[in-house]
Amino acid sequence: MSSFETYAAVRIVKVRSAAIQAASQLVPSGMIRIYFGASGRVGKACHLAKIYCRQELSMADCVCEVTSYLYPGCKVISGHEEVFLLFVLFL
């Protein structure tokens, strides 16, 4: 890899990170790590949280998604802040 390619790659990472930071400041959101047992239905909890946010909180584009599978019984969820409390209640 030439120094120009390295510079271009670093520049792309810098621009991408600035865009992600700007987007994260537009809407209150975040990520949480959750632990769950064998009966934990994470996908259903996200689905129900989205429905609740759309119907009860009038949020048109509610986000609640599994971001990372860390290991069995542990996942990272990302989305709007309103989702997190609801998400915990549904598990």
pLDDT tens column, 47-66? 888 898 899 889 888 888 89
Whether the Cβ atoms of residue 67 and residue 78 lie closer than 8 Å to each other: yes
Q: How many helices (H) and strands (E) does the chain have?
A: 3, 3
Give the Cβ contact number of residue 45 at 10 Å.
Answer: 21
Give the Cβ contact number of residue 47 at 10 Å.
Answer: 13
- Report d(CA 12, CA 27) in Å as an integer: 24
Which residues are CB-contacts of 31 (< 8 A; sequence separation ≥ 6)? 67, 76, 77, 78
For residues 30 and 86, the model is more confident at 30
Give the tens place of pLDDT for each residue, 65-74: 898 999 999 9
pTM: 0.68
From 1-5, 6-10, 49-53, 54-58, the region with the lowest mean pLDDT: 1-5
Predicted local distance difference test score (pLDDT) of residue 89: 66
| The token pair that represents 60 in the structure block | 């048109």
Predicted local distance difference test score (pLDDT) of residue 1: 59
- Does the domain formed by 28-90 have CATH 1.10.10.60? no
